[in-house]
Structure 1
Amino acid sequence: MGDKHRIRFEPVGIEIEADEEETVLDAAFRQGVMLMHGCKEGQCSSCKSFLLDGDQQMERYSTFALADYESEEGYVLLCRVHAFGDLNVELINYDEEMLLSGIPPREAGATVVEVVPVTRDIVRLTLDLDPDAELPYRTGQYVDIEVPGTGQWRSFSMAGLPGEGPGGRLEFLIKRYPGGMFSGLLGGGEGALEPGHRLTVKGPYGTCVLREAPDRDLLLLAGGAGMAPILAQLRALAAARSTRRVRFYYGARTAADLFALEEIAELGSRLADFAFTAALSEPETADGPYARGLITDVLAEQEGDLSRCDAYLCGPPGMCDAAGAVLTAKGVPEERVFLDRFTTSAAP
């Protein structure tokens, strides 16, 4: 281990200690401080902050996340920064409700229970944690799963609720990408994951956690495998018999790419005010009673003023960016649009 230094976050006045060999973001996780973050790999800009003073070095990162001129001005990515002296950091994006409610991440062993296709390219992966393992998390969060034999990790959101199933069961909905470092192991064939295989998981991470705001409406938006954390939110709302107005929009290419429709309908029946809209971007002939077009366009057409809304999003980056623009244009404050941005390891 290296020398340790003090990190102070403004304007919230929170201080942590960071070792030179860990990133500032990891140091915050370790001490239960939940900073805004997404990919944790220097590619998404969610943890971008401003360095007020101090000596630091950054690991490699994408200039899409932090442009050269921003770095020259003093902006940093907390998932890439190592402190080599005391640092004063100004947080650009933060959620005071979440800051001190973090669960320190931990590693746990797990066994594959099932790998089941739910569409042509989305798979349900179910894991059981080891009996002596504990991995508490909040609905909407994600974990990293180690890619067997590589030392690399990939991030996936839980679709189930905390504490479900025997021995701590974790459920994931994962899109298979050709060449995907982890998702490529879910398609069968040589080297594919099968029941009984062992994996290591680490977490929890993520800030896409349902906020306590009974006076505000809820808008849930997902595309593809982004269904996972949004379905978890819906399951939690149904279990609590929520009285909030809930609108769930889901985007897919064709009707063959839709899934969990019966469960969504059943969950919605337990809510006081719920409506679900599925939109198909590449509809085929007689593709069912679904909306046509991009889910963000359908959202824009069907919703009016959303200033009383909290919005939770998960899906492809393009969808999330487009949805963010629609939501803010309809009155949702940026600080009430919650999402975790992920990257893929698949070759372009």
Structure 2
Amino acid sequence: MVLQGWVAAPPNIYPDGDALSRKHLVRFEPVGVEIEVPEDKTVLEAAFDQGVMLMHGCKEGQCAACKSFLLDGEDVEHDRYSTFALPDFEKDEGYVLLCRAHAYEDLTIELLNYDEEMIKSGLPIQEAMVEVVSKKHVTHDMCHLVVRLLDPAEIKFFPGQYVDFTVPGSDEIRSFSMANTSALQNGLLEFVIKIYPDGLFSQFLEHRLAPGDRLTIKGPYGMFTLRDNPGAGLVFIGGGAGIAPILSVLRSMAERGVDRVSRFYYGVRTKQDLCFEDELRALEHKLPKFEYIPALSEPGEDDWNGETGLITDVVRRCETNLADTDCYVCGPPPMVEAALELLPSLGVNSARIFYDKFTTTGEPANA
């Protein structure tokens, strides 16, 4: 059944619960990794549980980041997904969405998108209870949220990764990147969250959430982590709340004394939309080869002597050759799409462009 671009999940074919005890071997090529997948979990969930970090984005069957191809085996059923991510003709050809796919026999799957550096370095996904420590606006429409881990008291993650928050009173989840590093202080996690007028979580954050309140999170997820490539330069491109994972990576670089030429292009509309300015300028001293380049797309009458225009246009003006450069992109989906189109034209190897592909889930963006 197709409804507004979505395919419904099939009925439960094991109503007696037998699926809970059945597992099947799933092998991923060309990387040669094998995992056991229970029938009641998706292939992606089972991989996360076993510390295998497969490419993923929305985890809801919308973005196609986890799209793969079935090489051997055919007994696969999908939970509800968008036909924009997996059109019927592709499904008929053998394509699957790992975030929606359940295996009912042993399978061999060809990964179309994968990162060999990350795939075997994943951290098992954990669910945790956190307590709100503080929240404060860093701009008129972005909030800096700090929470403390209660149970467990620690979650390991790579700088730049994100967790899912369960929206209280609902089954909805929203994804937000950590802004701090994995060198936790008192089990604290920091987030920078955009406040949308109709956002389910952001309005709860703005009007109801208070210090001492508790929330459930799950993670870590995401591929936005610093790869070991000492000879390559670094370019970060961010916008809005996309500053969070970039700040996490930059803070980690400062902690570890990473000595790589790096530039952070950060785009906002007006001067009042800039945040963490003092810290970013301080990082230019802690990281001698680092440069922070903010840009205003709508400077108006601001007292501003810096770059202006869309951040991708600024990158186009300032950079002429980005060969041998690793690029990290995070921000509103239109900005990310523009950057993904721009960077290869500047010489960036597409395999060296890193980003997490978020989709809209009731809010204009997740980041």
- TM-score normalised per structure 1: 0.96
Matches within 5 A, 1:194-343: 194-343=210-359
Q: Among 87, 93, 100, which residue is 2:107 paired with?
A: 87
Name the structure 1 match of 2:10: none
The count of aligned residue pairs is 344
- The 10-residue stretch of structure 1 (319-328 or 58-67) with the greater mean CA deviation from structure 2: 58-67
Between the aligned partners of 1:132 and 1:41, the Cα distance in structure 2 is 26
Q: What's the CA shift string for 1:182-202, capped at 9, x where partnerless? A: 1121222xxx10000011111
Which amino acid counterpart does residue 170 of structure 1 have in structure 2? L
Between the aligned partners of 1:132 and 1:14, the Cα distance in structure 2 is 29
Q: Could you say if the C-alpha distance between residues 282 and 67 of structure 1 is closer, same or farther in structure 2, counting changes exceeding 3 Å?
A: farther
- The 10-residue stretch of structure 1 (220-229 or 264-273) with the greater mean CA deviation from structure 2: 264-273
Q: Could you say if the C-alpha distance between residues 51 and 146 of structure 1 is closer, same or farther in structure 2, counting changes exceeding 3 Å?
A: same
In the alignment, is the contact (CA less than 8 A) between 1:313 and 1:337 conserved in 2?
Answer: yes
Partner secondary structure for residue 243 of structure 1: coil
In the alignment, is the contact (CA less than 8 A) between 2:129 and 2:152 conserved in 1?
Answer: no
In the alignment, is the contact (CA less than 8 A) between 1:178 and 1:346 conserved in 2?
Answer: no
Q: What's the CA shift string for 1:275-322, capped at 9, x where partnerless? A: 111111222113412211110011011001111101111111111111
Between the aligned partners of 1:347 and 1:98, the Cα distance in structure 2 is 29
In the alignment, is the contact (CA less than 8 A) between 1:217 and 1:310 conserved in 2?
Answer: yes
Once the 2 structures are TM-superposed, how far is the Cα of residue 173 of structure 1 from its aligned partner? 0.3
Q: Among 127, 137, 141, which residue is 1:107 paired with?
A: 127
Name the structure 1 match of 2:191: 172
Between the aligned partners of 2:342 and 2:301, the Cα distance in structure 1 is 29
Q: Could you say if the C-alpha distance between residues 284 and 170 of structure 1 is closer, same or farther in structure 2, counting changes exceeding 3 Å?
A: same
Name the structure 2 match of 1:185: 204
Q: Could you say if the C-alpha distance between residues 131 and 2 of structure 1 is closer, same or farther in structure 2, counting changes exceeding 3 Å?
A: closer
In the alignment, is the contact (CA less than 8 A) between 2:128 and 2:151 conserved in 1?
Answer: no
Which amino acid counterpart does residue 90 of structure 1 have in structure 2? E
Q: Could you say if the C-alpha distance between residues 347 and 127 of structure 1 is closer, same or farther in structure 2, counting changes exceeding 3 Å?
A: closer
Q: Among 8, 16, 25, which residue is 2:44 paired with?
A: 25
In the alignment, is the contact (CA less than 8 A) between 2:138 and 2:144 conserved in 1?
Answer: yes
Between the aligned partners of 1:45 and 1:5, the Cα distance in structure 2 is 23
Between the aligned partners of 1:331 and 1:343, the Cα distance in structure 2 is 27
Between the aligned partners of 2:358 and 2:204, the Cα distance in structure 1 is 19
Partner secondary structure for residue 269 of structure 1: helix
Q: CA RMSD in A?
A: 1.3
Q: What's the CA shift string for 1:78-106, capped at 9, x where partnerless? A: 10111111111000111111111110011
Name the structure 2 match of 1:161: 181
In the alignment, is the contact (CA less than 8 A) between 1:305 and 1:330 conserved in 2?
Answer: yes
Partner secondary structure for residue 42 of structure 1: coil
Q: Could you say if the C-alpha distance between residues 97 and 132 of structure 1 is closer, same or farther in structure 2, counting changes exceeding 3 Å?
A: closer
Which amino acid counterpart does residue 354 of structure 2 have in structure 1? F
- TM-score normalised per structure 2: 0.91
Once the 2 structures are TM-superposed, how far is the Cα of residue 39 of structure 1 from its aligned partner? 1.1
Name the structure 2 match of 1:71: 91
Name the structure 1 match of 2:68: 49
Partner secondary structure for residue 306 of structure 1: coil
In the alignment, is the contact (CA less than 8 A) between 2:312 and 2:339 conserved in 1?
Answer: yes
- The 10-residue stretch of structure 1 (29-38 or 125-134) with the greater mean CA deviation from structure 2: 125-134
Which amino acid counterpart does residue 46 of structure 2 have in structure 1? A
Name the structure 1 match of 2:7: none
Q: What's the CA shift string for 1:41-96, capped at 9, x where partnerless? A: 11111111111132101112222322333222221111011111111100011111
Q: Could you say if the C-alpha distance between residues 347 and 105 of structure 1 is closer, same or farther in structure 2, counting changes exceeding 3 Å?
A: closer
In the alignment, is the contact (CA less than 8 A) between 2:37 and 2:46 conserved in 1?
Answer: yes
In the alignment, is the contact (CA less than 8 A) between 1:207 and 1:338 conserved in 2?
Answer: yes
Partner secondary structure for residue 94 of structure 1: coil
In the alignment, is the contact (CA less than 8 A) between 1:242 and 1:272 conserved in 2?
Answer: no
Partner secondary structure for residue 129 of structure 2: strand
Which amino acid counterpart does residue 18 of structure 1 have in structure 2? V
Once the 2 structures are TM-superposed, how far is the Cα of residue 325 of structure 1 from its aligned partner? 1.3
Partner secondary structure for residue 200 of structure 2: coil
Between the aligned partners of 1:131 and 1:20, the Cα distance in structure 2 is 28
Partner secondary structure for residue 192 of structure 2: strand
Once the 2 structures are TM-superposed, how far is the Cα of residue 131 of structure 1 from its aligned partner? 6.3
In the alignment, is the contact (CA less than 8 A) between 1:108 and 1:200 conserved in 2?
Answer: yes
Structure 2: runs of 5+ lacking an equivalent: 1-19
Name the structure 1 match of 2:57: 38
Name the structure 1 match of 2:138: 118
